[in-house]
Amino acid sequence: MNMWRLLQIELFKITRRPRTYIAFAAITAIVFIFQFAFKADGQSYMDLMMQSAKDEFAFDRVEAINGYFMCYIILNTLLIQVPILVALIAADSISGEANMGTLRLLVSKPVSRTQIILVKFAAATIFTIFLLVWMAVTALFLSIVIFGTGDMLVFRTKGTESMIMQITKDDVMWRYYAAFAYATVALTVIAALSLLLSIFADNSIGPIIATVCIVIVCTIISNINVPIIDRNVKPFLFTSYLVGWKGFFYIGTNENGNTIKGSLENWPAIRNSLMILIAHIVLIVGISIAVFRKKDILS
Amino acid sequence: MSAIVSVDNLVKQFGNFTAVDGLSFTVNEGDVYGFLGQNGAGKSTTIRMMLTLIKPTAGSIKIFGKEILHHRSDILRQTGAMIERPDLYKYLSAYNNLSIFAKMSGIKVSKKLLMDQLEMVGLQEAADKKAGVFSQGMKQRLGIAVALVHNPKLIILDEPTNGLDPQGIADMRNLILRLSNEMGKTVIISSHLLSEVEQIANRMIIIDRGKKIVEGSVEELLDPEHTVVDIDTTNNEATQQLLASSKWNDYLQAEKPLQLMMNKTQVPALINDLVAGNVQLLSVKASHSLENYFLSLTTRHEHVEAFAN
């Protein structure tokens, strides 16, 4: 059967479910709270950040709180929580059908099980893209409308050192586009993982909790700074690469320590992270297909 | 008449438990085929294997002359099914539910086709209502519409009257008869009620613990020659002696003192003789031997379950 037609059916089902809009509402609420807080008392935040930064840096603290800066702050917080929102939909893919009893009807139609998994995965990916587009609309474009534009400050901790980097305003937007694209790939790993877990369950609560638990455990391991884990475990954990989008805001410098417009500090690292995330997606979706093809539908 | 479904030596094991044990049967074109067995006999497991929801451990299933595992899409395109509960997308309307499954069946969908289908099952007025607010009977009818929307040659209905009120059961029965008599469909209907199957099926199979007990035409299996008559009187011992010394002695069953097996047409004569012999009758119950046997299967398991509980 035509995959496009199947995908249309899947997207139709997703858009008709009230649960779908919880994630969009949650993002909107969080972004609005951030924007309100910074509009009301952003100065205190800037003072706090400046205390922790060693760099002697001269800039107008009022102008520093602009739309670009706001989006970066919001993304720093939100992109850790968004996996839960992605799991809300993706973890329901198969288990939700099993819970409703529609899975047996679905599988008894002239559609292959591989097609079902691929379409479910594609729909979860499209949902993730829409979620990030919505995040871009609210966190970036709405922040630009509220706070205006300007050079962007990036607070960064490298080892034990805190530093501030400045990106000129005409060098920011492409970084955001790239960061959102990277975040889409990273969150698609979560969608694929949720989809895989949903095959084993007859209700969506289990896979959602399991996905969140896996993300939390792997994130904790990714943050343990012990050489043996750094070498042998972290490179294989997808959570080690989830925040790789930040790399697009680490600007390259020349020998004199001056920033180079349009440059990245470590593009090969970002590219490798992307490749590893994509490999995770391929592997997890492959396992999902293999498991689902063999599964007895008893629900 | 050509075989539409041929199941040969089908086995399904879940760990150490054998749900279906060497089951073989044939469904011919145009049959309304009753698939009978008590709960847990293996009916749903067999149907699920026929629809590729479950993979058989051994054996083969051929539908339209093709092996189901190798020609899945071709076969399922011509097969409509309602498996156990007619669960649908509760947040979607009847129309949208039907539309989704029609599209998934690979047919060209039009509003007219969907509305005609809803009209056929009496749901045209409820087309825009969400399936979540439907009564069990309405869900069942929508489930039937989903099974029929792509005009399949073979229709498999797993316990289609479950949860229906008497009127709903009668409607379902009429619909199945219409599908067979007017539209020439082949229908497999599973049930745990012999009385339900005997009213609509022309052939049937009874299975127990995954094994075939009996298969054949309903006419043949429910031959009136094998009517079992149970009698209860104010003095069963005297009645027993009376019958033993009369022409009815040949019909008395060894297992039960006041049970006889005879042709159904002989029952009035038996009652006349008993009344003439001044026997005060409390009850005379005539049932088919197959029904008795089927009931014994059900009762046996109920006893086991009750004991286990």
Whole-number pLDDT of residue A53: 57
In this predicted structure, which of A8-12, A95-99, B251-255 has the lowest mean pLDDT? B251-255
In this predicted structure, which of A156-170, A209-223, A232-246, B90-104 has the lowest mean pLDDT? A156-170
Residue A57 has pLDDT above 60, yes or no: no
Does A29 fall in a domain? yes
Residue B305 has pLDDT above 80, yes or no: no
Does A254 fall in a domain? yes
A–B interface: beta-carbon pairs under 8 A:
80
A186 or A169: which leads in pLDDT: A186
Q: Do A1 and B104 touch (CB under 8 A)?
A: yes
How many angstroms from the chain centroid is the CA of residue A240?
Answer: 13
| CB-CB contact of B10 with B49 (8 Å) | yes
- Chain B 27-66, CB below 8 Å of chain A: which residues? 48, 51-55
Q: Do B83 and A105 touch (CB under 8 A)?
A: yes
pLDDT band at A41; cut points 50, 70, 90? confident
Query: CA quadruple A289, A293, A298, A299: dihedral positive or negative?
Result: positive
Whole-number pLDDT of residue B306: 46
| CB-CB contact of B149 with B100 (8 Å) | no
Mean of pLDDT values over A119-126 = 96
As a whole number, the mean pLDDT across chain A is 88
B288 or B31: which leads in pLDDT: B31
What does pTM read for this prediction? 0.85
Whole-number pLDDT of residue B194: 82
Whole-number pLDDT of residue A62: 56
pLDDT band at B127; cut points 50, 70, 90? very high
Does A19 fall in a domain? yes
Q: Do B51 and A108 touch (CB under 8 A)?
A: yes
Structure confidence by residue, pLDDT tens digits, B39-49 = 889 999 999 99
Does A299 fall in a domain? no
Q: Do A105 and B87 touch (CB under 8 A)?
A: yes
Number of structural domains (chain A) is: 1
pLDDT band at A256; cut points 50, 70, 90? confident
**Chain B CB within 8 Å of residue A290 CB:** no
Does A147 fall in a domain? yes
CA-nearest of A233, A4, A282 to A126 is A4
Structure confidence by residue, pLDDT tens digits, B182-205 = 889 999 999 988 888 888 999 999
Does A280 fall in a domain? yes
Query: CA quadruple A268, A272, A277, A281: dihedral positive or negative?
Result: positive
Residue B89 has pLDDT above 90, yes or no: yes
Mean of pLDDT values over B84-94 = 88
CA dist., res. A222 & res. A217, Å (int): 9
Structure confidence by residue, pLDDT tens digits, B145-165 = 999 999 999 999 998 888 788
- Chain B 125-164, CB below 8 Å of chain A: which residues? 146
A58 or A212: which leads in pLDDT: A212
Q: Which of A101, A107, A108 has the CB atom closest to B85's CB atom?
A: A101
In this predicted structure, which of A126-140, A182-196, B283-297 has the lowest mean pLDDT? B283-297
Q: Is A56 helix (H, G, I), strand (E, B) or coil?
A: coil
Does A28 fall in a domain? yes
Residue A233, classified by CB atoms within 10 Å of its CB into exposed (0-12), middle (13-18) or buried (19+), is: middle
Q: Which residues of B touch A296 (CB under 8 A)?
A: 14, 48, 53-55
Among A97, A104, A291, the strongest candidate for a mutation testing the B interface, having the largest count of B CBs within 10 A, is A104
Residue A258 has pLDDT above 90, yes or no: no
> Which residues have CB under 8 Å from B17's CB, separation 6+?
none
Q: Which helix (H) or strand (E) holds A278?
A: helix A267-294
Give chain B's length: 309
Nearest 5°: phi and psi at B186? -95, 125
Structure confidence by residue, pLDDT tens digits, A88-104 = 889 999 999 999 889 99
How many angstroms away from the CA of B87 is the closest CA of chain A? Answer: 5
> What's the Cα-to-Cα distance from A298 to each of A218, B47, B55, B201, rounded to whole Å?
32, 12, 11, 27
Whole-number pLDDT of residue B303: 46
Residues of the domain holding A263: 3-294
pLDDT band at B308; cut points 50, 70, 90? very low
Mean of pLDDT values over A198-210 = 93
In this predicted structure, which of A188-202, B129-143, B289-303 has the lowest mean pLDDT? B289-303
Residue B88 has pLDDT above 80, yes or no: yes
Q: Which residues of B touch A100 (CB under 8 A)?
A: 87-90
Residue B86 has pLDDT above 90, yes or no: no
Does A200 fall in a domain? yes
Complex-level ipTM:
0.83
Whole-number pLDDT of residue A192: 97
